[in-house]
Amino acid sequence: MPESYNNKISVIIPTLNEAENIGELLQFLKKNGKDHIAEIMVCDAKSEDETVSIANKSGAEIISCKEACRAYQMNEGAKIASGDILYFMHADAQPPKTLATDILNFIKKGYDFGCYRFKFDSNHPFLAVNSFFTRFKVLWCRGGDQTLFIKKDVFKKNNGFDEEYVVMEDFELIKRLWKKYRFGIIPKSVLVSARKYKENSYWQVNIANLKIYRMFMNGLHPQILKEKYFQLIKHPKA
């Protein structure tokens, strides 16, 4: 590891109307990140609720974004991040309390990027099956819900997220880096919201995910993926 490596983590959270979740998450990160977090950036896409106000009061750095596209929002945060490790996460996710040391330990072990496993805030038995498969190092088991840590120099060298992707932006980045860099899965779980499954049936969401993944792997244009995805399921933010 270079001597100039600052061993700090920049947390980047894209938001759109996340007042219900953002305050609790920011307090959690401040309490458990301790001295390892350089800054927490809320990259907000013109929320119409109290997201920005709550984030301001919680001491987060607010990045105002012109459009609601997670790839674009996360890239905007990465541009000004001061930490040498970027940690991207959704506002409705809660990582383990050991997040900072977990990430730093994996970086020290030689991993360039990686994620956690995940589990849902629901007792639905089928969702437990989904969670189980996130322990395996295969691309179709990945996704933004698991959060993503990556060395900043690796992220910038590879031009960050592809902003053409409104959905599958995390898969696209991981797929692009998969064979070039070392990817690790921290053997702990992020707690994620099952709200998408409350708006749709379990099978509806999983069939939609499978169809979009196959379309992505077959090289269909990002706009086609977006249109098809929002045809297949009702999204909480739609």
Q: What is the pLDDT along the chain (238 residues), one digit of tens a residue?
A: 444 467 899 999 999 999 999 999 999 999 999 889 999 999 999 999 999 999 999 999 999 999 999 999 999 999 999 999 999 999 999 999 999 999 999 999 999 999 999 999 988 898 999 999 999 999 999 988 899 999 999 999 999 999 999 999 999 999 999 999 999 999 999 999 888 888 888 899 999 999 999 999 999 999 999 999 989 987 665 5
pTM above 0.85, yes or no: yes
How many other CB atoms are found less than 10 A from the CB of residue 231? 8
Q: Is 40 exposed, middle or buried (0-12, 13-18, 19+ CB in 10 A)?
A: buried
Residue ranges of the domains in the chain?
9-195
Q: What is the pLDDT of residue 195?
A: 82
CATH topology of domain 9-195: Spore Coat Polysaccharide Biosynthesis Protein SpsA; Chain A (3.90.550)
Q: Give me the residues paired with residue 118 across strands.
A: 190
Residues ≥6 apart with Cβ < 8 Å to 4 = none
What is the DSSP pairing of strand 9-15 with strand 37-44?
A: parallel
E strand or H helix that includes residue 75: helix 70-80
What size, in residues, is the chain?
Answer: 238
Residues ≥6 apart with Cβ < 8 Å to 122 = 194, 197
Instruction: Render the burial of 149-181: b for 16+ CB within 10 Å, e for the rest.
Output: bbbbebbeebebbbbebbbbbbbbbbeebeeeb
Residue 135 CA to residue 170 CA, distance in Å, equals 17
Longest alpha-carbon distance in the chain: 51
How many other CB atoms are found less than 10 A from the CB of residue 97? 13
SS3 for 113? strand
∠ CA(16), CA(18), CA(19), 5° rounding?
130
Sign of the CA dihedral 36, 99, 56, 159?
A: positive
SS3 for 62? strand
